[in-house]
């Protein structure tokens, strides 16, 4: 596709795309400080905080990427009734993301607080409760998914971070319902029980996640190993296609009949945080807009190269992508 073709795609297709993100909702909060001394009451460094930032994380970050690209985006998952949910809700509203599918629980909104010195993470605090959610809460999720499928969707992203949403039973119900409506499912996988993604159209792991399910780890630089790993995933877990994110080595798309290795455009890898989220979001956008999977992989790789040069969680925009394509 030419630069003009890509611009036309964003202007005529993406604005009409409807994508639902289902999964674990998080807030990422950053406290940036200067470390110049140790505490007098304990042998620990003292960070004088000079800047704070709050960002949408996990499934919410994928939804944010989709919205900033121009898609009509909704997100569903579990949240708490707390200050972090207020921050999350405000940011979803500012991004124009439909949050009617957020299901309130008695547990806290999953939040990660990072203390940073320059670009180095010194400490992290996690606020979460991984107790199993109730049948009634899952029924509410399923009801929202069914409603949106009936109103028409172009793609679904299942965003699994092992925080309680993506159980084997729930994933199976989502994939089955989506396929009954002819809607492709892109999965952001996590952990080792990938059997719960059976029959998904695509999974979009990075190499670190792939290595958790392999007996022999692969490197990000090895094209042949990336293909073999992709075919293993497809065969073992009955997943139709694999789009593997390989950090500075780009991405690899493995389909039933072919394989494509696309090198990254990044000149310098600054921070890999959120790259896999961006790849899942951009690839889902491409499928929703009717692009061929290889073209989706190409533009997802362009987006990954942009995010690799950013610090912390960063949601891509269509302007970012078009500027990169033009350059």
pLDDT tens digits for 170-206?
999 999 999 999 999 999 999 999 999 999 999 999 9
Residue 110 exposed, middle or buried by CB count within 10 Å (0-12, 13-18, 19+): buried
pLDDT tens digits for 237-276?
999 999 999 888 889 999 999 999 998 765 555 556 678 8
d(CA 124, CA 114) in angstroms, rounded, equals 4
Q: Give domain limits for the chain.
A: 3-26+59-107+132-326
Regarding the domain with residue range 3-26+59-107+132-326, which homologous superfamily does it belong to in the CATH classification? Ribokinase (3.40.1190.20)
Other beta carbons within 10 Å of 65: 30
d(CA 75, CA 107) in angstroms, rounded, equals 19
More confident residue, 48 or 269: 48
Instruction: Decide if 277 is catalytic.
Output: yes
With a CB cutoff of 8 Å and minimum separation 6, the contacts of 305 are 264, 265, 266, 324
Q: Which residue has the tokens 């891509």?
A: 316
pLDDT tens digits for 281-300?
999 999 999 999 999 999 99
Other beta carbons within 10 Å of 140: 18
Q: Which residue has the tokens 């639902």?
A: 20
d(CA 201, CA 181) in angstroms, rounded, equals 14
> Is the CB of residue 253 less than 8 Å from the CB of residue 243?
yes
Q: Which residue has the tokens 């996690």?
A: 126
**Mean pLDDT in residue range 290-313:** 88
Which member of 24, 28, 154, 277 is catalytic?
277
d(CA 14, CA 39) in angstroms, rounded, equals 52
pLDDT the model gives residue 7: 86
Best mean pLDDT range from 3-7, 8-12, 221-225: 221-225
């Amino acid at each position: 596709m030419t630069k003009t073709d890509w611009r036309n795609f964003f202007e005529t297709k993406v604005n009409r795309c409807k994508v639902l993100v289902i999964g674990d909702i998080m807030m990422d909060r950053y406290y940036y400080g200067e470390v110049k001394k140790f505490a007098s009451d304990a042998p620990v460094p003292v960070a004088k905080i000079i800047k704070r930032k709050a960002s949408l994380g996990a499934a919410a970050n994928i939804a944010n990427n989709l919205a900033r690209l121009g898609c009509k985006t909704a997100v569903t998952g579990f949240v708490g009734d707390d200050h972090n949910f207020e921050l999350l809700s405000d940011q979803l509203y500012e991004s124009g993301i439909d949050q009617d599918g957020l299901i309130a629980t008695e547990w806290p909104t999953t939040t990660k607080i990072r203390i940073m010195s320059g670009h180095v993470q010194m400490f992290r605090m996690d606020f979460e409760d991984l107790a199993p959610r109730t049948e009634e809460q899952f029924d509410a999720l399923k009801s929202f998914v069914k409603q949106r499928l009936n109103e028409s969707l172009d793609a679904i992203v299942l965003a699994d971070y092992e925080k309680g949403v993506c159980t084997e039973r729930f994933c199976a119900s989502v994939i089955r319902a989506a396929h009954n409506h002819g809607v492709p499912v892109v999965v952001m996988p996590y952990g080792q029980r990938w059997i719960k993604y059976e029959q998904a159209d695509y999974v979009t792991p990075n190499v670190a996640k792939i290595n958790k399910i392999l007996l022999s780890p692969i490197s990000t630089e090895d094209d042949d190993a990336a293909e073999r790993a992709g075919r293993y995933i497809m065969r073992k877990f009955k997943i139709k296609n694999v789009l593997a994110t390989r950090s500075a080595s780009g991405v690899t798309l493995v389909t039933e009949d072919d394989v494509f290795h696309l090198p990254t455009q990044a000149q310098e890898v600054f921070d890999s945080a959120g790259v896999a989220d961006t790849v899942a979001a951009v690839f889902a956008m491409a499928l929703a807009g009717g692009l061929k999977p290889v073209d989706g992989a190409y533009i997802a790789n362009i987006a990954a190269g942009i995010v690799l040069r950013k610090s912390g969680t960063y949601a891509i925009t269509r302007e970012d992508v078009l500027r990169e394509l033009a350059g």
